[in-house]
Amino acid sequence: MDRRDFLRTGAFVFGSMAASAPVMAAFRRAIGSGNLSDASIQALSDSLNGSLILQTSTDFSSAVKVYNSRFNDMRPMAIARCADAADAATCMEWCIAHDIHFVARAGGHSYCGWSTCEGLVIDVGPLQDMEYDPSTGIATFGAGVQLVDVYHYLSGFGRAIAAGTCPSVGLTGLLLGGGQGMLTRGHGMTSDLLVSADVILYDGSTVHSVVCSDASEHELFWALRGGGGGNFGLVTKLRVQTFPLAGEVAYGAMRWDWSVAKDILDYWMGMGATLDPAVSMNLLLSPAAPTVSNSEPVIYMVAASTKPDDSQQTELRSMLSGLANHVPASKLLSYTTDRKYWVDLALTYSGCSHFSNPYEDCHFPSDQWPNGQLVQKAFKSKSDYYTEAIPQEGFDKIDEWLRLRHQNPSMNQQRASLHLDLIGDASVVNQVAPDETAFVHRDTICCAQYIAYWSAGDDCSLVNENLDWVRGFYEAMRPWASDQSYQNYIDDDLTDWAQRYYGSNLPKLRQIKSKYDPQNVFYFPQSIQPLDDGGRS
Ligand SMILES: Cc1cc2nc3c(=O)[nH]c(=O)nc-3n(C[C@H](O)[C@H](O)[C@H](O)COP(=O)(O)OP(=O)(O)OC[C@H]3O[C@@H](n4cnc5c(N)ncnc54)[C@H](O)[C@@H]3O)c2cc1C
Instruction: Indicate the burial class of 430 (C-beta count within 10 angstroms; 0-12, 13-18, 19 or more).
Output: buried
Instruction: Note if the pTM is more than 0.85.
Output: yes
What are the pLDDT digits (tens) for 6-42? Answer: 322 222 222 333 344 444 444 444 454 546 777 888 8
Q: What's the helix, strand, coil split of the chain in %, to 5?
A: 35, 20, 45
- Per-residue pLDDT at 3: 32
- Per-residue pLDDT at 308: 61
Q: Ligand 1 centre from 332 Cα, in Å?
A: 36
Residue 126, C-beta contacts closer than 8 angstroms, at least 6 positions apart:
50, 81, 82, 83, 144, 368
Q: Say how far residue 218 (Cα) sits from the centre of its chain.
A: 24
Q: How many CB atoms lie within 10 A of CB 342?
A: 24
- As a whole number of angstroms, the distance between CA 77 and CA 41 comes to 11
For 62, the 3-state DSSP assignment is: helix
Which of 147, 176, 376 maximizes ligand 1 atoms within 8 Å of its Cβ, making it the mutation to test the pocket?
176
- For residue 114 and ligand 1, the question of a CB distance below 6 A is answered with yes
- For residue 449 and ligand 1, the question of a CB distance below 6 A is answered with no
Q: b/e map of 16-36 (b: 16 or more CB within 10 Å)?
A: ebebeeebbeebbebbeeeeb
- As a whole number of angstroms, the distance between CA 275 and CA 365 comes to 40
Q: Ligand 1 centre from 313 Cα, in Å?
A: 33
- As a whole number of angstroms, the distance between CA 537 and CA 532 comes to 10
| Nearest in space to 233 (alpha carbons), one of 81, 103, 50 | 103
Architecture of domain 3-123: 2-Layer Sandwich (3.30)
- Per-residue pLDDT at 136: 98
Which of 67, 110, 280 maximizes ligand 1 atoms within 8 Å of its Cβ, making it the mutation to test the pocket?
110
Residue nearest ligand 1's atom 9 by CA: 164
- Residue 102: phi, psi to the nearest 5? -135, 155
CA pseudo-torsion sign 112, 67, 176, 205: negative
- As a whole number of angstroms, the distance between CA 481 and CA 374 comes to 34
Question: Is 446 in contact with 386 (CB distance < 8 Å)?
Answer: yes
Q: How many CB atoms lie within 10 A of CB 69?
A: 18
- Residue 159: phi, psi to the nearest 5? -125, 170
- As a whole number of angstroms, the distance between CA 86 and CA 63 comes to 20
- For residue 148 and ligand 1, the question of a CB distance below 6 A is answered with no
Q: What is the mean pLDDT of the chain?
A: 90
What is the number of the ligand 1 atom nearest to the C-alpha of 103? 47
- As a whole number of angstroms, the distance between CA 381 and CA 459 comes to 19
- For residue 180 and ligand 1, the question of a CB distance below 6 A is answered with yes
Residue ranges of the chain with per-residue pLDDT less than 50: 1-30, 32, 34, 535, 537
Residue nearest ligand 1's atom 23 by CA: 173
- Per-residue pLDDT at 101: 95
- For residue 169 and ligand 1, the question of a CB distance below 6 A is answered with yes
**Residue 377: strand pairing partners:** 68
What is the number of the ligand 1 atom nearest to the C-alpha of 107? 26
Q: Alpha helix locations (H) across 253-306?
A: 261-271
- As a whole number of angstroms, the distance between CA 289 and CA 278 comes to 32
| Nearest in space to 30 (alpha carbons), one of 59, 51, 57, 48 | 57
- For residue 143 and ligand 1, the question of a CB distance below 6 A is answered with yes
- Per-residue pLDDT at 319: 78
| Nearest in space to 239 (alpha carbons), one of 190, 206, 280 | 190
CA pseudo-torsion sign 289, 293, 295, 300: negative
C-alpha distances in angstroms, 155 versus 150, 346, 389? 8, 11, 37
Which of 174, 192, 237, 487 maximizes ligand 1 atoms within 8 Å of its Cβ, making it the mutation to test the pocket?
174
For residue 414, give the amino acid letter: Q
For residue 131, give the amino acid letter: E
Q: Ligand 1 centre from 167 Cα, in Å?
A: 12
For 272, the 3-state DSSP assignment is: coil
DSSP 468-508: HHHHHHHHHTTTTS-S---TTS--TT-SSHHHHHHGGGHHH
- Per-residue pLDDT at 360: 87
Which of 92, 128, 166 maximizes ligand 1 atoms within 8 Å of its Cβ, making it the mutation to test the pocket?
166
- For residue 188 and ligand 1, the question of a CB distance below 6 A is answered with no
- For residue 528 and ligand 1, the question of a CB distance below 6 A is answered with no
- Per-residue pLDDT at 533: 57
| Nearest in space to 270 (alpha carbons), one of 403, 156, 388 | 388
Domain 248-340+374-490 listed as CATH 3.40.462.20 = yes
**Residue 450: strand pairing partners:** 382, 418
Q: How many CB atoms lie within 10 A of CB 422?
A: 24
**Residue 453: strand pairing partners:** 379
- Per-residue pLDDT at 310: 61
Q: Are 3-123 and 248-340+374-490 the same fold in CATH?
A: no
- For residue 67 and ligand 1, the question of a CB distance below 6 A is answered with yes
Query: What's the chain's Rg over C-alpha atoms?
Result: 23
Q: Where are the domains of the chain?
A: 3-123, 248-340+374-490
- For residue 230 and ligand 1, the question of a CB distance below 6 A is answered with yes
| Strand pairing category for 234-241 and 194-202 | antiparallel
